[in-house]
Structure 1
Amino acid sequence: MHRGVGPAFRVVRKMAASGAEPQVLVQYLVLRKDLSQAPFSWPAGALVAQACHAATAALHTHRDHPHTAAYLQELGRMRKVVLEAPDETTLKELAETLQQKNIDHMLWLEQPENIATCIALRPYPKEEVGQYLKKFRLFK
């Protein structure tokens, strides 16, 4: 079910109509690569599920933010970038940095094991968060 056009989306459209480039919003996810390797050897489906959980939780938690509202207005234009963290320590360090810099995100913990598996940011213009993610490469 689609809702009416909200104020955040109108702002993005208004910018486009005025000749200014509309902001491209991206939802970044950082997923632990080591979970796909021994000794963990999680199947691809389990890793995809972790990223989905984190992305959904971040969108829900920050649903009232104008960037999230605008991102969800055009479902066919969603942009996500999935990056890889080598291990849990690196993922938790990133979460700490994001927290210190007031970057909205969700650190997903797989239960009942309480294992940190993925970080999802709410949608952001890449210019606002790129500096915190540049050391991570695309997940392969």
Structure 2
Amino acid sequence: MSSDVSQHLVQYIVVRGDLQWPVGALIGNACHASVAAIVRHMSSGDKHTIEYIQHLESMTKVVLKADNEEVLRDVCHKLSQNSIAYHLWTEQPEGIITCVATTPRPRDVLKPLLNHLKLFK
């Protein structure tokens, strides 16, 4: 894979917007999901993930908002239907599903699947 392609790889993270948590806690959960998705799929030999981490200084992430847990589960369903690997993060010990992170994929593959969601602000 060329570095031109790696510049188009992106990891999407979708965070629940209905949780009344401190921003730092939500960011921490997004980080957990991101790392989990990358480590799990890097170790399984996923070519996009390996390429993505070879360019640490140019990694691209997009953080989107899911209105609630149901929307987050719908995102997971859509990703599964399209054979996109992801990691759904559940905060423990509370057992609260907080976010999902995709494995890095070309932007033109992921964007159409998630374009119904807005940026997390």
Given the two structures, how large is their TM-score scaled by the length of structure 1? 0.80
Q: Which residue number corresponds to residue 59 of structure 1? A: 38
**Which of the pair has more CA radius of gyration?**
1
Query: Could you say which structure has the greater relative contact order, defined with CA pairs below 8 angstroms and 6 or more residues apart?
Result: 2
Residue aligning to 1:12 = 2
Q: How large is the Cα RMSD of the aligned pairs? A: 1.1
Correspondence list, 1:41-60, <5 A: 41-60=20-39
**Runs ≥4 in structure 1, deviation > 2 angstroms?**
none
Structure 2 runs not aligned, ≥5 long? none
Distance in 2 between residues matched to 1:69 and 1:58, nearest whole Å: 12
CA deviation vs aligned residue, 1:5-27 (integer Å, no higher than 9, x gap): xxxxxx314xxxxxxx5341001
Q: How many residues align?
A: 118
SS of equivalent to 1:22: helix
Letter in 2 for 1:33: G
Report Cα offsets for 1:31-79 as digits up to 9, x if no partner: 00111xxxxx210110000100000000011102111111101111010
In the alignment, structure 1 residue 32 sits paired with structure 2 residue 19: no
Asked whether the 8 Å contact 1:92–1:116 carries over to 2, the reply is no
Unaligned runs of 5+ in 1: 1-10, 14-20, 36-40
